[in-house]
Copies of this chain bind each other. A is one copy, B any other.
Amino acid sequence: MDRPATQSRFAPRDPDWERRCRDGFARQQYMRFIGGELAALAPGRCSVAVALKPELTQQRGFLHGGVTAALADTAAGFAAYSLMPAGSSPLTVEFKINLMAPAVGERFVASGQVVRAGRLLTIVDTEVAAEAGGQSKLIAKMLATLICMEATPDRAAE
């Protein structure tokens, strides 16, 4: 699941898309905080993974739904960002997520795939899988809308 085909039907508009995405991900302090890693990246696709840790759980010991959503939102964001022009920034307008099964596992992988990349709006379909004992199980599905902020560097103002 975290190894999508590198071939994709979307062509990046910025030849430097990959470095731009990897830099952006590295600057997400929250991803570092929870131990998230960029597991796969291709034009229009991105996978983000995290290992289960006690501090990421809710009261029943499962991965907190907010962490599942954060993983999926981040995968969706970089899948969309990979197709945006240089100098722009992605912003999540909204997302809807179905938490379909308890988030029980050793590692969680969110894989986002762009469904439609417009000039302004990008729609991303993202699935989250729980991995345990060599098995992978679909636990969540997200449908998200992102907007491309042109002439907005994807970094904090200095």
Contacts and interface: CB of A to CB of B under 8 A. Distances in A.
Contacts of A138: 115-116
A143 B96 contact: yes
A143 B145 contact: no
A141 interface: yes
Interface of A: 24-25, 27-33, 54-61, 64-67, 69-71, 73-74, 77, 89, 91-102, 115-116, 118, 120-121, 123, 125, 138, 141, 143, 145, 147, 154-157
A125 B141 contact: yes
A60 B125 contact: no
A92 B32 CA distance: 26
Interface centre among A66, A95, A102, A115 (most CB of B within 10 A): A66
Given A55-B33, A155-B59, A98 B89 contact: no
Given A60-B156, A61-B157, A55 B70 contact: no
Oligomer copy total: 4
Interface centre among A61, A65, A121, A145 (most CB of B within 10 A): A65
A94 B89 contact: no
A13 to B, nearest CB: 19
A56 B66 CA distance: 13
A126 B48 CA distance: 25
22 contacts: A30-B55, A30-B56, A30-B57, A30-B58, A30-B64, A33-B56, A59-B154, A60-B155, A61-B157, A65-B70, A65-B92, A66-B69, A69-B70, A69-B73, A93-B93, A94-B94, A96-B96, A98-B145, A100-B123, A115-B138, A115-B141, A116-B138
